[in-house]
Protein backbone atom coordinates (compact mmCIF):
# COMPACT_ATOMS: atom_id res chain seq x y z
CA UNK A 1 0.00 0.00 0.00
CA UNK A 2 1.35 3.43 -0.93
CA UNK A 3 1.41 6.05 1.83
CA UNK A 4 -0.51 9.13 0.72
CA UNK A 5 1.06 12.59 0.81
CA UNK A 6 -0.92 15.80 0.28
CA UNK A 7 0.81 18.94 -1.04
CA UNK A 8 0.42 22.16 0.92
CA UNK A 9 1.72 25.69 0.66
CA UNK A 10 1.51 28.68 2.99
CA UNK A 11 1.88 31.90 1.06
CA UNK A 12 0.44 34.66 3.20
CA UNK A 13 1.12 38.37 2.81
CA UNK A 14 1.61 40.67 5.73
CA UNK A 15 2.23 44.36 6.37
CA UNK A 16 4.18 44.75 9.58
CA UNK A 17 3.55 47.88 11.66
CA UNK A 18 6.87 49.18 12.97
CA UNK A 19 5.28 51.44 15.59
CA UNK A 20 6.12 55.00 16.58
CA UNK A 21 9.65 54.61 17.94
CA UNK A 22 10.98 52.44 15.14
CA UNK A 23 9.26 54.69 12.58
CA UNK A 24 11.16 57.69 13.95
CA UNK A 25 14.38 55.63 14.05
CA UNK A 26 13.91 54.66 10.39
CA UNK A 27 13.01 58.27 9.48
CA UNK A 28 16.33 59.42 11.00
CA UNK A 29 18.16 56.80 8.95
CA UNK A 30 16.54 57.91 5.72
CA UNK A 31 16.48 61.69 6.17
CA UNK A 32 19.55 62.41 8.30
CA UNK A 33 21.71 59.27 8.04
CA UNK A 34 22.06 59.07 11.78
CA UNK A 35 21.47 56.28 14.27
CA UNK A 36 19.37 57.12 17.28
CA UNK A 37 18.80 55.55 20.64
CA UNK A 38 16.23 56.19 23.34
CA UNK A 39 17.02 56.50 27.05
CA UNK A 40 15.21 54.42 29.67
CA UNK A 41 13.65 56.70 32.29
CA UNK A 42 14.57 54.22 35.02
CA UNK A 43 17.97 52.60 34.33
CA UNK A 44 19.02 55.57 32.15
CA UNK A 45 20.62 53.31 29.59
CA UNK A 46 20.66 54.52 26.01
CA UNK A 47 18.98 51.70 24.12
CA UNK A 48 19.89 51.20 20.46
CA UNK A 49 18.04 50.70 18.18
CA UNK A 50 15.44 53.10 19.57
CA UNK A 51 12.38 51.68 21.25
CA UNK A 52 9.44 53.01 23.22
CA UNK A 53 10.18 51.20 26.48
CA UNK A 54 12.87 49.25 28.34
CA UNK A 55 11.68 45.67 28.74
CA UNK A 56 13.87 44.94 31.78
CA UNK A 57 12.67 47.99 33.76
CA UNK A 58 9.16 47.99 32.28
CA UNK A 59 9.65 51.76 32.03
CA UNK A 60 9.11 54.18 29.12
CA UNK A 61 11.96 55.85 27.29
CA UNK A 62 12.00 59.60 26.81
CA UNK A 63 15.17 61.33 25.51
CA UNK A 64 16.39 60.62 21.97
CA UNK A 65 20.14 60.75 21.33
CA UNK A 66 22.39 60.14 18.36
CA UNK A 67 25.08 57.44 18.65
CA UNK A 68 28.14 56.54 16.58
CA UNK A 69 29.00 56.81 13.76
CA UNK A 70 31.95 54.84 15.12
CA UNK A 71 31.87 51.97 17.54
CA UNK A 72 33.48 48.76 18.78
CA UNK A 73 32.80 45.27 17.50
CA UNK A 74 31.66 42.98 20.32
CA UNK A 75 31.11 39.57 18.75
CA UNK A 76 30.63 38.16 15.26
CA UNK A 77 30.07 35.21 12.98
CA UNK A 78 31.13 34.54 9.40
CA UNK A 79 28.43 32.67 7.50
CA UNK A 80 30.14 30.26 5.12
CA UNK A 81 27.29 28.09 3.81
CA UNK A 82 24.26 28.99 1.69
CA UNK A 83 20.87 28.55 3.35
CA UNK A 84 17.61 28.56 1.41
CA UNK A 85 15.92 31.96 1.53
CA UNK A 86 18.99 33.73 2.91
CA UNK A 87 21.56 35.84 1.00
CA UNK A 88 24.60 34.01 -0.45
CA UNK A 89 27.74 33.58 1.72
CA UNK A 90 30.22 34.70 2.84
CA UNK A 91 28.47 37.12 5.20
CA UNK A 92 30.04 38.74 8.23
CA UNK A 93 27.50 39.65 10.90
CA UNK A 94 28.40 41.35 14.17
CA UNK A 95 27.14 43.06 17.28
CA UNK A 96 28.64 46.55 17.58
CA UNK A 97 28.39 49.04 20.42
CA UNK A 98 28.21 52.44 18.77
CA UNK A 99 29.88 55.25 20.71
CA UNK A 100 27.44 56.62 23.27
CA UNK A 101 25.19 53.54 23.29
CA UNK A 102 24.68 51.20 26.24
CA UNK A 103 23.57 48.26 24.09
CA UNK A 104 24.98 46.55 21.03
CA UNK A 105 23.37 46.57 17.62
CA UNK A 106 23.46 43.79 15.04
CA UNK A 107 24.27 44.43 11.39
CA UNK A 108 26.49 43.16 8.58
CA UNK A 109 30.19 44.00 8.25
CA UNK A 110 31.29 44.83 4.70
CA UNK A 111 34.70 45.22 3.13
CA UNK A 112 36.58 42.57 5.12
CA UNK A 113 38.66 40.10 3.13
CA UNK A 114 37.23 36.70 4.01
CA UNK A 115 39.09 34.53 1.47
CA UNK A 116 40.82 33.06 4.51
CA UNK A 117 37.95 32.70 6.99
CA UNK A 118 40.20 31.70 9.89
CA UNK A 119 42.42 34.77 9.38
CA UNK A 120 39.36 37.02 9.10
CA UNK A 121 37.97 35.52 12.33
CA UNK A 122 41.25 36.19 14.15
CA UNK A 123 41.15 39.80 12.98
CA UNK A 124 37.56 40.22 14.24
CA UNK A 125 38.60 38.57 17.51
CA UNK A 126 40.71 41.66 18.26
CA UNK A 127 37.38 43.54 18.55
CA UNK A 128 38.29 46.21 16.02
CA UNK A 129 36.80 49.67 15.81
CA UNK A 130 34.18 50.04 13.08
CA UNK A 131 32.37 52.87 11.33
CA UNK A 132 28.77 53.03 10.13
CA UNK A 133 28.49 53.33 6.36
CA UNK A 134 25.15 54.30 4.82
CA UNK A 135 23.92 53.11 1.44
CA UNK A 136 23.60 55.71 -1.32
CA UNK A 137 19.82 55.76 -1.24
CA UNK A 138 18.54 55.03 2.26
CA UNK A 139 14.98 53.72 2.32
CA UNK A 140 14.25 53.95 6.01
CA UNK A 141 15.10 50.36 6.86
CA UNK A 142 17.62 48.73 9.20
CA UNK A 143 19.48 47.66 6.04
CA UNK A 144 20.22 51.32 5.17
CA UNK A 145 23.62 50.94 6.79
CA UNK A 146 26.33 48.43 7.58
CA UNK A 147 29.64 48.44 9.41
CA UNK A 148 33.16 48.78 8.00
CA UNK A 149 36.42 48.20 9.82
CA UNK A 150 38.33 51.43 10.46
Query: Could you say which residues in the range 39-78 bind other proteins, by CB under 8 A?
Result: 47-49, 55-56, 74-78
Q: Which is nearer to other proteins, 33 or 53 (CB)?
A: 53
- Binding-site size for other proteins (CB under 8 A) equals 48
> Rounded CA gap, 62 and 122, in Å?
40
Query: Could you say which residues in the range 91-110 bind other proteins, by CB under 8 A?
Result: 91, 93-95, 97, 102-108
User: 36: which residues sit within 8 A by CB, 6+ positions away?
Assistant: 24, 25, 28, 48, 49, 50, 64, 65, 66, 67
> To the nearest whole angstrom, how small is the minimum distance from the Cβ of residue 81 to other proteins?
5
Helix and strand numbers (H, E) in the chain are 2, 9
CA angle 76, 28, 111 (to 5 degrees): 35
* Residue 8: strand, helix, or coil: coil
Verify binding: residue 3, other proteins, rule CB under 8 A: yes
Q: Which is nearer to other proteins, 79 or 149 (CB)?
A: 79
Going through the chain in order, the beta strands assigned E by DSSP cover: 35-40, 46-47, 53-54, 59-67, 70-79, 91-98, 105-110, 129-134, 145-149
Verify binding: residue 81, other proteins, rule CB under 8 A: yes
Query: Could you say which residues in the range 7-46 bind other proteins, by CB under 8 A?
Result: 8, 10, 14, 16, 18-19, 22
Query: Footprint of other proteins on this chain (CB under 8 A)?
Result: 3, 5, 8, 10, 14, 16, 18-19, 22, 47-49, 55-56, 74-81, 83-87, 91, 93-95, 97, 102-108, 117-118, 121, 124-125, 127, 141-143
Amino acid sequence: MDLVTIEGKWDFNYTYFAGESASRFFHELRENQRIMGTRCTKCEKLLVPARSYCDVCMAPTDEWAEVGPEGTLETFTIIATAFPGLPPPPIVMAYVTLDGADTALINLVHGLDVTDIEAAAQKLNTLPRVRVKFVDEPKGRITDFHFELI
